[in-house]
Structure formats: structure tokens, C-alpha cells
């Protein structure tokens, strides 16, 4: 390819190179964030005010020289504050809320496990792109399921019981008096467990095809003391459900399925006459140009390597992708037999759709 530098807009070129270097820096930074999480370096700094590298290293049980270099990288990235007068470092309350508070709804570090899994599976993704072959969730590096579960966990903890379920017509009242709930594609079971913890009179069944995730879900349910009202079942979303259910849920997974109409039809067949289907899906506009932003970029990238790849692996009827949008999701629900479909609420990351018979 011949290069005629005279045709290049130098300002545009410089801006693009600057962006590319910033992206590479962010990639390096992600590794540092993951190291900081796994070694407890952020926790060692939380609520301590300015501390020296030696104090951080001692608190975390690490070697000071490595920790000092790590702290400088964090300061350069804006994730800790450096105090040059005292040669000390501080994790501000806001930084701690993002990096050290594992219950925070904006706790970000586990998301880097997803990125690590994508790099680990790069050869598989390249093969899929070249051949059109699918790649199922179970074929990915194990950090994918762990990272996705941990990334979504705190959002579910903050929003599911407090905001999303109350946005559905009459559902909370049923859950309080005693309802039967199906959580389809439950993964590690956080959504199932959070509902079970809030509504002890109801009974919950989580369904998934990924056996290792189900084992983790069972352990988490026992730890949360909800094992008496939660069951996890190895099953495909296409298998018939033994109803009746008062509520059926798909949390961030319907778009992954190659047969989403059939998957949505199963709970439709098993719902009580006044039952409800709740779809929690990645936030997206129906128009591509309205998704060209950082969140849309994140979801389109994940969709390229994960969501579309899994749907293709099922040799199905659809490849929705993570940015399916409300119109397509509504159409799926109508084709599955639901007559009333509406957007119940939303967050910057999620659409919550209610469908009723």
C-alpha cells in the first residue's frame, strides 16, 4: 500500500495516534488494576489517607519495589492521588468506591477478567471470523464466566430488588406473598439469590447449560442461606418448563441465544395466566448511530467475540447481538406469544422489558 503523506490531515492523524496510544496505555492499566484487585492493594489503601509505598506493601504482604512502581502507574492513570511533598499515595473515597468496595454498584476491577478471556481466546475468535463458525460460552476461557458474573453482580444487587422488580406490574406483591420464579440463563446465580434473599416466601429455580457455573451458584446459595428456596437445574433455554410460574426472567442472556423466540416461548407456555416475563438486556438504541459511544463500543466488542459467536454456535434462527435494541426484543416477545410488551425501566447499562400474556 503506497503512502502519500501529503494527503494526510496532520491534526487528524495526531489525534488518532494519541487515541491509539491512550488505548494501549489503558490495556496495560487494566492488567495493573487486575493485579491490584487480586493482591488486595486497593483494599490496603482504602480509608487510610496518604500512605507510603512501604506501608501499602506491608499491609498487602507484597514487595515494596514492585508496589512503588505499581502505585506510580496508578497515579499516572488517575486511579490514586500522588502527594509529591510527602512522596505518598492516596486512594480517595471516590476511587475506593470504584476500585476497593466490592459491594459498590460501580466496582469495576472484575470486568478486566472478561478482557483477559478475550485475549486468551483470540485464536478462537479469529477462526470464527474467518470461517463463520460459532463459539459457545463453554468454549471460552474460564475467566469469561467469572468476570461477567462479577461485573453484573453489583448492578443486580443495587437495582434488581429496589428498582427493576417494582417497575413490573404487581410482581412484588406476588413475590411477597409467595410466587414461583424461573431464572433462565442464571449463570452464577446472583440474580436468583438476590431475589430469594428479598422474598423468603417465594421459590426460585435457576436454569443454565454451563455446569461449572451452576456448581458455583449452588455454593453461593448455601453461603447466602437461601438454599432452602433456590434450586439450580442444568437445562437448555429451549427445554419445556414445568409451570406454572408467576415470573420468568432472562438476565443479560436472551440476545446470546440462537433461538430466542423459542426460548421466550417456553416461559410463555409455563406462565400463570397473570404471569410476567422480565427481560434484562444491555442498553441499546434501535439505531446504530445512537450507540456509537463508550458503552455501545464495549457491548459491540463483546458481542463480536462472545454474544454473536454463541448464537451462531447454536445454529439457530437469530444472531441478535448485545445491542439488539428495544424494537427487536419487543418483536421477539410478540413472536413468542406475548401480547403486552413495554419498557419497564432502564439504566445506563440495561433495558428492562416487561412482557405479559
Q: Are residues 241 and 288 in the same domain?
A: yes
pLDDT tens by residue, 138-151: 999 999 999 999 88
**Arithmetic mean of pLDDT, 336-348:** 96
Helix, strand, coil abundance in the chain, percent, nearest 5: 55, 15, 30
Output the average pLDDT for the chain: 96
Phi first, then psi: what are they for 232, rounded to 5°? -115, 130
pLDDT for position 151 = 86
The pLDDT of residue 345 is above 70: yes
The pLDDT of residue 170 is above 80: yes
Q: Are residues 180 and 86 in the same domain?
A: no
Q: How confident is the model at residue 5 (pLDDT cuts 50, 70, 90)?
A: low
Last residue of one domain, picked from the residues 99, 130, 163: 99
pLDDT for position 57 = 98
Provide the percentage of residues in the chain whose pLDDT is more than 90.
96
344 in a domain, yes or no?
A: yes
Q: Are residues 58 and 124 in the same domain?
A: no
pLDDT for position 95 = 98
Q: What are the start-end ranges of the H helices in the chain?
A: 10-39, 41-45, 53-60, 64-77, 93-99, 111-120, 122-131, 143-159, 171-177, 190-198, 211-223, 260-270, 294-302, 308-313, 326-335
Last residue of one domain, picked from the residues 35, 69, 99: 99
Q: Are residues 71 and 129 in the same domain?
A: no
pLDDT tens by residue, 43-77: 999 999 999 999 999 999 999 999 999 999 999 99
Strand order in the sheet with 245-251: 230-234, 203-208, 180-184, 245-251, 271-282, 350-356, 340-346
pLDDT for position 238 = 93
Domain that holds residue 131: 111-356
203 in a domain, yes or no?
A: yes
Eight-class DSSP state of 51: B
pLDDT for position 7 = 83
Q: Are residues 137 and 283 in the same domain?
A: yes
2 in a domain, yes or no?
A: no
Q: How confident is the model at residue 1 (pLDDT cuts 50, 70, 90)?
A: low
47 in a domain, yes or no?
A: yes
The pLDDT of residue 351 is above 90: yes
225 in a domain, yes or no?
A: yes
Domains in the chain, number: 2
125 in a domain, yes or no?
A: yes
**Arithmetic mean of pLDDT, 88-100:** 98
pLDDT for position 6 = 73
Q: Are residues 179 and 61 in the same domain?
A: no
The pLDDT of residue 2 is above 90: no
pLDDT for position 261 = 97
Distance in angstroms (rounded) separating the CA atoms of residues 254 and 228? 28
pLDDT for position 195 = 98
Q: Could you tell me which of 204, 247, 246, 248 has the C-alpha nearest to residue 224?
A: 204
Last residue of one domain, picked from the residues 54, 76, 99: 99
pLDDT for position 189 = 97
Asked if 149 and 188 count as a contact pair (C-beta separation under 8 A), the reply is yes
The pLDDT of residue 4 is above 70: no
Distance in angstroms (rounded) separating the CA atoms of residues 251 and 159? 12
CATH of the domain at 36: 1.10.10.10
Q: Are residues 352 and 322 in the same domain?
A: yes
Q: Are residues 262 and 195 in the same domain?
A: yes
**Arithmetic mean of pLDDT, 308-322:** 96
338 in a domain, yes or no?
A: yes
**Arithmetic mean of pLDDT, 231-243:** 94
**Arithmetic mean of pLDDT, 233-249:** 95
pLDDT for position 267 = 96
CATH of the domain at 128: 3.40.50.150
Q: Are residues 24 and 163 in the same domain?
A: no
Q: Are residues 284 and 346 in the same domain?
A: yes
Q: Are residues 188 and 247 in the same domain?
A: yes
Q: Are residues 75 and 182 in the same domain?
A: no
3 in a domain, yes or no?
A: no
Amino acid at each position: 500500500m503506497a503512502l502519500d503523506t501529503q494527503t494526510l490531515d496532520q491534526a487528524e492523524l495526531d489525534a488518532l495516534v494519541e487515541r491509539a496510544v491512550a488505548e494501549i496505555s489503558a490495556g496495560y492499566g487494566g492488567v495493573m488494576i487486575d493485579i491490584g484487585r487480586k493482591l488486595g492493594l486497593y483494599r490496603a489503601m482504602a480509608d487510610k489517607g496518604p500512605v507510603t509505598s512501604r506501608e501499602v506493601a506491608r499491609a498487602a504482604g507484597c514487595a515494596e519495589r514492585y508496589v512503588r512502581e505499581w502505585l506510580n502507574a496508578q497515579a499516572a492513570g488517575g486511579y490514586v492521588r500522588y502527594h509529591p511533598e510527602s512522596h505518598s499515595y492516596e486512594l480517595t473515597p471516590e476511587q475506593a468506591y470504584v476500585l476497593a468496595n466490592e459491594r459498590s454498584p460501580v466496582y469495576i476491577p472484575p470486568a478486566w477478567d472478561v478482557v483477559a478471556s478475550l485475549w486468551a481466546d483470540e485464536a478462537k475468535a479469529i477462526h470464527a471470523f474467518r470461517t463463520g463458525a460459532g463459539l459457545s460460552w463453554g468454549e471460552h476461557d474460564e475467566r469469561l464466566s467469572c468476570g461477567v458474573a462479577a461485573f453484573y453482580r453489583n448492578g443486580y444487587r443495587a437495582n434488581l430488588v429496589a428498582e427493576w422488580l417494582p417497575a413490573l406490574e404487581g410482581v412484588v406483591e406476588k413475590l411477597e406473598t409467595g410466587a414461583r420464579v424461573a431464572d433462565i440463563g442464571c449463570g452464577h446465580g446472583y440474580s436468583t439469590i438476590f431475589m430469594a434473599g428479598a422474598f423468603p416466601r417465594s421459590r426460585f429455580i435457576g436454569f443454565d447449560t454451563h455446569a461449572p457455573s451452576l456448581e458455583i451458584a449452588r455454593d453461593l446459595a448455601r453461603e447466602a442461606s437461601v438454599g432452602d428456596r433456590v434450586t439450580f437445574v442444568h437445562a437448555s433455554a429451549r427445554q419445556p418448563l414445568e409451570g406454572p410460574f408467576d415470573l420468568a426472567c432472562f438476565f443479560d442472556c436472551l440476545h446470546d441465544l440462537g433461538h430466542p423466540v423459542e426460548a421466550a416461548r417456553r416461559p410463555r407456555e409455563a406462565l400463570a395466566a397473570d404471569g410476567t416475563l422480565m427481560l434484562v438486556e444491555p442498553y441499546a438504541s434501535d439505531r446504530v448511530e445512537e450507540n456509537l459511544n463508550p458503552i455501545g463500543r464495549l457491548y459491540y466488542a463483546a458481542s463480536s467475540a462472545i454474544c454473536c459467536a454463541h448464537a451462531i454456535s447454536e445454529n439457530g434462527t437469530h444472531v441478535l447481538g448485545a445491542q439488539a435494541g428495544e424494537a427487536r426484543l419487543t418483536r421477539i416477545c410478540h413472536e413468542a406469544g406475548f401480547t403486552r410488551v413495554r419498557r419497564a425501566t432502564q439504566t445506563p447499562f440495561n433495558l428492562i422489558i416487561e412482557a405479559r400474556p
